[in-house]
Structure 1
Amino acid sequence: MRIDVNGIALEVQVSGEGPAVLLVHGYPDTHACWRHQVAALNAAGYRTIAPDLRGFGASDKPDGLEGYELAAYAGDLIGILDRLDVDRAHLVGHDWGSALAQRVAITTPGRVTGLACLSVGHAAAMLSAGWEQREKSWYMMLFQFPGVAERWLSEHDFANMREMLAEHPGRDEVIERMRDPRALSAALAIYRRGVPPEWLLADPADLPPIPVPTMGVWSSGDRFLTEQSMAGTGKHVASTWRYERLDGAGHWMQLEAPGEVNDLLLDFLASAGAQAG
């Protein structure tokens, strides 16, 4: 369905009945990356809400970088819950979706029953993870340069993007979407507004903790994120914390190891729901 929030239209897949679970994708995905989780969650008695973020998939792509502040993405998520009359929801985020779900949990904890972070942990844990993590994040600096990043990703029939997405089961579909220059630039906007170079100078101690029950899941085959960047998140959770490591899966764990991810999510959601009473 199309849902109008904050002056734009977002494509949102809604299915199932029961407690709400908001599934938030990352770069360079769409709501389709949750297809295995949607089926499992619906079968277990949950209502799933899976949007295409602004700038991605079939959702609107505002002109100008000012439309891609992290507060705008987070505001869209709250707006979706409002339009669907959902007072509280579990949040599950992967990659950038994890960072956005954390932002919602920190700013509006009363709307969040539990938070599951896949791949990307708390920003303070990322900043404290050392040089290995900074080396793995080299592409974030490249993505800051309009035109340069687009050319690097797309030249030679998207050879560099194909290499970055080597483990992505839906790589060919992603490449086809990114052949649209507007889609390519709109997807990169989240990096250009979310992690400008000065972000690296932030003091981890100044970043607020996550105030809701939280589970972090890291996969050993992730080429972009160190284990410490997720395991260290527990120091920045002011509620119950659970850490899980998946061996063998790469960055897109929900697509590469759906059965294991689904089992973890169902167990965590049941626990967080019980805590919420």
Structure 2
Amino acid sequence: MINVNGIRLHIAEQGEGPLVVLLHGFPESWHSWRHQFGPLAGAGFRVVAPDQRGYGRSDHPEEVDAYTILHLVGDVVGLVHALGEARAFVVGHDWGAPVAWHTALLRPDVVRGVAGLSVPPPFRSTRPPLKAMQERFGGRFYWNWFDRPGVADAEFARDPRATLRKLLYFASGDAPDAGRPENVLVDPERGWLADMPEPGALPGWLTEEDLDNLTDSYAKGFTGALNWYRNLDRNWELTAPWHDAVVTSPAVYLYGDRDVVPAFPGTPELIDQLPELMPKLRRRPVVLPGCGHWTQQERPDEVNAALLDFLTELRG
């Protein structure tokens, strides 16, 4: 447990050398990086993965506005310094990717290099994202569903293990309809889980023990994690000073070709433009064939190879 930015963060740690901070997404925990610890530590890096605020054994502030992007970046910067380092490599997946990208954007002096999985680098839109999606999809986009106080919280908490089992399978490359944008539209009357397929068996990359570990990390419920989404418009307001700013740290971006996130409205066009928009993007995005949303879990060998190539190059 590390005291950081006014809260306590639970971390997992392995290895010695240059610091690499691994940031998980939703609905995950530090455990989503279980396949990265050994290879990165074995290559001479100090690997640290926190349960981010609102997740797992870390603190879960009650106030919704305690989960803004400035709080989340502050947690990363504070963690790097609390670990006795001035700089670190920062790697993020899903929600962890925007935190990693924004840490590099707001504090490039702290970031030696940044890698994002699934979610591409942030380029601030001209409209608040929750309002834009509300209008575009009539309130059915899952961000707007999550924004309703207590609604998704209650749906997910009725049976946390079943919730996580469905969500992980549904967004994986193993699901028959993986990668279809309409998958993230929710029936407001029935909830999101009602129409998700029930996997007959877990995908090969996910064991029952992995699912047990993840379920245990949601003993405090889902509200802290959902509060991240409830700050999307507030984040848009807070990041106004960085409108049109770009990440200048060395960077790499990876995603699966069956991941729904890179198919969100406007995202394919952004990905095509990344080499021109980001001066230090080391290469074109790394695309993982057949991979869904859970990149580092579904394709650990490919992800590890890409990260080690990137990290060792920067380490010199």
TM-score (norm 1): 0.84
State the partner residue of 1:121.
Answer: 120
Unaligned runs of 5+ in 1: none
CA distance in 1, matches of 2:5, 2:13: 19
Secondary structure, counterpart of 1:165 in structure 2: helix
Residue equivalent to 1:54: 53
Give, in angstroms, the shift of residue 184 of structure 1: 0.9
Counterpart of 1:35?
Answer: 34
Alignment of 1:1-277 (within 5 A): 2-124=1-123, 138-155=141-158, 162-166=165-169, 167=172, 169=206, 170-178=210-218, 180=219, 182-193=220-231, 195-196=232-233, 199=236, 206-226=243-263, 228=268, 230-242=271-283, 243-274=285-316
| Counterpart residue type for residue 190 of structure 1 | W
Cα pair 1:122 1:236 within 8 Å, conserved: no
- Structure 2: runs of 5+ lacking an equivalent: 128-132, 173-202
* CA pair 232-258 structure 1, distance change in 2 beyond 3 A: same
Change (3 A) 1:37 1:198: closer
Higher mean C-alpha deviation, range 153-162 or range 139-148: 153-162
Work out the percentage of aligned pairs sharing the same amino acid: 34
**1:167-204 per-position Cα deviation (integer Å, ceiling 9, x unaligned):** 382445434543x4x431011111111x239959x99x
CA-CA distance at 1:158 after TM superposition:
6.6
| Residues 96-116 of structure 1, C-alpha deviations (whole Å, 9 max, x = no match) | 111001111011111111111
How many Å separate the matches in 1 of 2:272 and 2:168?
A: 24
In structure 1, the residue matched to 2:193 is: none
The structure-2 alpha-carbon separation of the partners of 1:19 and 1:160, relative to structure 1 and needing over 3 Å to count, comes to closer
Amino acid at match of 2:279: A
Q: CA RMSD in A?
A: 3.0
Aligned residue pairs total 264
Q: Partner of 1:142: helix, strand, or coil?
A: helix
Query: Per the alignment, in what secondary structure is the counterpart of residue 225 of structure 1?
Result: helix
CA distance in 1, matches of 2:19, 2:159: 43
> 1:37 and 1:47, CA in 2 relative to 1: closer, same or farther beyond 3 A?
same
Taking the aligned partners of 1:151 and 1:15, their CA distance within structure 2 comes to 36
DSSP-derived class of the 2:101 partner: helix
Q: What are the superposed Cα offsets for residues 245-267 of structure 1, whole Å, 9 maximum, x if unpaired?
A: 00011111101110111000000
Distance 1:126 1:244, change over 3 A: farther
